[in-house]
Amino acid sequence: MGGLAANGSLCAARGWVGRLDCQANADSAFGGASRYSPARMKWSELRSRFFGNLFTILSGLLGVFQVLIGHWIVVVFAGREGPGWVSGLLLAAALVAANMLAMPNLRRAARAGGWPRRISRGYMALGITSLVTGLVIAIAWLGFLPLAGLLTVLGVSGDTAFEFFRLMSSVVVFTLVAMFAWGFTGGQRLVEETRIPVDLPGLPDSLSGLRIAHISDLHIGNGLEDARLDALVERVNAMEADLIALTGDIFDFDPRHVEDGARRLGALRARLGVFAVLGNHDHYTGREYIAESLGRHAPGIQLLRGDMVRVPGETPFYLAGVDDPGADWTARGVVLQELEDLGNALPADGPVVLLIHRPEAFPQAQRLGFPLVLAGHTHGGQLALPGSGHLNLARIVTRYHRGLYRENGSTLYVNRGIGVAGPAIRFNCPREIATIELR
Ligand SMILES: [Fe+2]
C-alpha cells in the first residue's frame, strides 16, 4: 500500500497518469488487476532516465565508436599499423568529451535555422550513421575474436583468419553505409499511400465504405513547410476521403512555424470534416498557441482535446480525441484520465473512432470499448531492416510500432507518419498517407 501511495503522488506530481508505475493506480481505481511491482517500477524509472538522457549517452558512445571506426578503416580495411592502445584510449576520451560538450550547442543550433542548422543536421546525420556502423563493427569484433581462436585451433593461420574478417566486415560496413546513404536521400523522400480496410462489427450499412484519410506526425518545422506542406495538403484533398484525421505532432518544436503552418493546413478539405489531436511535439512547441493559431487560420480543423463529436450525417457516428500527455515520450502502459472520461460516456447509438497520438494508450482504449483507434507517434521506427519492416527502431519503445493491430475486439492503426523527427532519414519505412476504409 505504501508503494501505491508513493506511486499516486508521483502521478499527481506529473499531472497525468501515464507510466507503468502509474498504471497500478489506474488499474486499482478502475477495478482491474494491479500490475504494480517494485521491479517494474525500477525498470520503468531506468528506462525513463535512459531516454531522458538519450542525447548525452549517445554523444558519449559516439566518441568511442568514432575511434572504433577509425581503427577499422586504418588497421582492418587499409591494413596499416594502428596508433596503439594508449593513443586510441586517449583519443576516445577526447572525442567522448568533445561530443558531449558539442551536443547541447548543436541541438540549439538545430533550432536556430540557417547555416548553424545545416551544420547541426550534418553532424546528426554523420552521428547516427557512425553510431550504427560503430555498433556493428563492435559486434563484428566480438564475434570474430572467439572465431579466430577456433580457427587457430583448427590450424588456420592468423593472417588467413584476419583476411576473412577484413572481407566479411567490409561487406557489412559498406552495405550499411549504402543503406544510410539511401535512407538520407531517396529513402526519406518516398511517400506511400496505403489502403487499410477495417472491419467494424455492427457498422451500419450506411457507413460501410466510409473513407478516412489518416495523416500523422507532420513535424512542420523539420522539413515539411512552405511548398512541401501545400503539396501534401493538395495530395490529401485530391484523395477525396469522407473525412480527414490528423493524429498529432503537427509541429516539430519551433513556434515560428505555427502561424504559417496553420494557415496552409487550413486548406485541408473533406466532406465530413477535418479532425486533429495534439502530439508530444505539439506540447514542446506550445499546445495553447497551436490551438489558438489553428482556430484562427484553420477553423475547418476541429481539434479534439478531450472531446467527442458527432460527425455530420443521418447515421450516428462519432469521433473522439485527447491531447497527448507530452512528457516522457517513451512511456509504456499509458493511461489517460481524459480518455477514461470519454470512454465512460460512449454513446450507444453509433461507433466512435478515437484519435490519439501515442499508441501505448490502446490497451486502455480497448478496455473502454472504442472499436477503432488511429494513432501515430512511432514513425514506424524510420529505420527498419529489410523485409516486412517489423524489425525497426520503434520496437524499443512500444509493441504497437506500425500498422494494424486487433485486440479484444478493438482495432488500432499506427500510421508511419508523413514527417520525420531528428535527422531526415527513412530506410524501409516510407512516409505514409493512409486511407482507412470502414466495412
Ligand atoms: Fe512524431
**Which domains are assigned to the chain?**
2-52 (no CATH), 54-184 (no CATH), 195-438 (3.60.21.10)
Q: What is the pLDDT of residue 40?
A: 67
Q: How far is the CA of 346 from the centre of ligand 1 (A)?
A: 28
Q: How far is the CA of 181 from the centre of ligand 1 (A)?
A: 22
The answer to whether the beta carbons of residues 380 and 413 sit under 8 Å apart is: no
Using pLDDT thresholds of 50, 70 and 90, give the confidence band for residue 24.
very low
Residues 6+ apart with CB under 8 A from 400: 359, 360, 362, 375, 378, 412, 414
Q: How far is the CA of 262 from the centre of ligand 1 (A)?
A: 17
Q: How far is the CA of 273 from the centre of ligand 1 (A)?
A: 23
Q: How far is the CA of 312 from the centre of ligand 1 (A)?
A: 29
The model's pLDDT over 138-166, given as tens digits with 9 standing for 90+, comes to 999 898 888 888 888 888 888 888 888 89
Q: How far is the CA of 245 from the centre of ligand 1 (A)?
A: 15
Q: What is the pTM of this model?
A: 0.84
The answer to whether the beta carbons of residues 306 and 342 sit under 8 Å apart is: yes
Residue 252 has pLDDT above 60, yes or no: yes
What would the mean pLDDT of 425-434 be, rounded to a whole number? 97
Q: Measure Cα distances from 134 to 103, 139, 163, 176, 350 in Å.
A: 18, 9, 20, 11, 54
| Rounded-to-integer distance, Cα 39 and Cα 19, Å | 14
What would the mean pLDDT of 239-253 be, rounded to a whole number? 97
Using pLDDT thresholds of 50, 70 and 90, give the confidence band for residue 212.
very high
Q: What is the pLDDT of residue 215?
A: 98
Per-residue H/E/C for 47-84: HHHHHHCHHHHHHHHHHHHHHHHHHHHHHHHCCCCCCC
Q: Which DSSP string do the residues of 171-213 spell out, in sequence order? A: HHHHHHHHHHHHHHTHHHH-EEEEEEEE--TT--GGGTT-EEE
More confident position, 156 or 283:
283
Q: How far is the CA of 217 from the centre of ligand 1 (A)?
A: 4
Q: How far is the CA of 378 from the centre of ligand 1 (A)?
A: 6
| Rounded-to-integer distance, Cα 418 and Cα 430, Å | 8
What would the mean pLDDT of 236-252 be, rounded to a whole number? 97
Cα dihedral angle (268, 353, 364, 327), rounded to 10 degrees?
10
Q: What residues pack around ion ligand 1 (CB closer than 5 A)?
A: 217, 249
Average pLDDT, the chain: 88
The model's pLDDT over 315-356, given as tens digits with 9 standing for 90+, comes to 999 999 999 999 888 888 899 999 999 999 999 999 999 999
Q: How far is the CA of 281 from the centre of ligand 1 (A)?
A: 7
For the chain, percent of residues with pLDDT exceeding 90: 67
What would the mean pLDDT of 374-400 be, rounded to a whole number? 94
The answer to whether the beta carbons of residues 243 and 274 sit under 8 Å apart is: yes
Using pLDDT thresholds of 50, 70 and 90, give the confidence band for residue 37.
low
Q: What is the pLDDT of residue 201?
A: 85
Q: How far is the CA of 376 from the centre of ligand 1 (A)?
A: 7
| Rounded-to-integer distance, Cα 66 and Cα 88, Å | 11
368: burial class by Cβ within 10 Å (0-12, 13-18, 19+)? Answer: buried
Q: How far is the CA of 48 from the centre of ligand 1 (A)?
A: 18
The answer to whether the beta carbons of residues 335 and 26 sit under 8 Å apart is: yes
Q: How far is the CA of 250 from the centre of ligand 1 (A)?
A: 8
Buried b (16+ CB within 10 A) or exposed e, 218-244: bbbbbebbeeebeebbeebbeeebbbb
Cα dihedral angle (75, 80, 84, 90), rounded to 10 degrees?
-70
Q: How far is the CA of 167 from the centre of ligand 1 (A)?
A: 39
Residue 43 has pLDDT above 90, yes or no: no
Q: C-alpha cell of 278? A: 495534439
Q: How far is the CA of 78 from the centre of ligand 1 (A)?
A: 41
Q: How far is the CA of 383 from the centre of ligand 1 (A)?
A: 14
